[in-house]
Amino acid sequence: MKIITPEEVLKKIDEGQELHLIDVREPEEIATGKIGIAQTIPLGTLEFHLDELDKNLEYIMVCRSGRRSAQATSFLEENGYKAANMEGGMLAWEGPVE
């Protein structure tokens, strides 16, 4: 499984790189703050949103601690998508949130 650190994600955002983040936390968790550019798809519904994702793009998966996003990353990889897990999740994120 591919891993990316929160620092690497923040650097890419600061450099203006086009990123595709998916936050797999539940709505009540998202309400506490999320990375601005992140799309929200709760882990339990990810399988129903595959048709909305592009197999040519790489997705960075985010959750609270990195555990659910690791599951999401594995699931996407098993289904032919490119994905990376943001290590440590939002607990390790030091960038801006909205």
Could you tell me the pLDDT band of residue 46, with boundaries at 50, 70 and 90?
A: very high
Confidence (pLDDT) at 88 = 98
* φ, ψ of residue 89 in degrees (nearest 5): 55, -155
Q: Does the residue 21 lie in any domain? A: yes
In SS3 terms, 37-75 reads as CCEECCHHHHHHHHHHCCCCCEEEEECCCCHHHHHHHHH
Q: Does the residue 33 lie in any domain? A: yes
Which residues are the active-site residues? 63
What CATH number does the domain containing 61 carry?
3.40.250.10
Could you tell me the pLDDT band of residue 71, with boundaries at 50, 70 and 90?
A: very high
Q: Does the residue 98 lie in any domain? A: no
Domains in the chain, number: 1
Give the structural domain span for 70: 2-92
Q: Does the residue 10 lie in any domain? A: yes
Evaluate the CA torsion angle 41, 19, 12, 72 in order and state its sign. positive
Please give the average per-residue pLDDT across 52-77, as a whole number.
Answer: 98
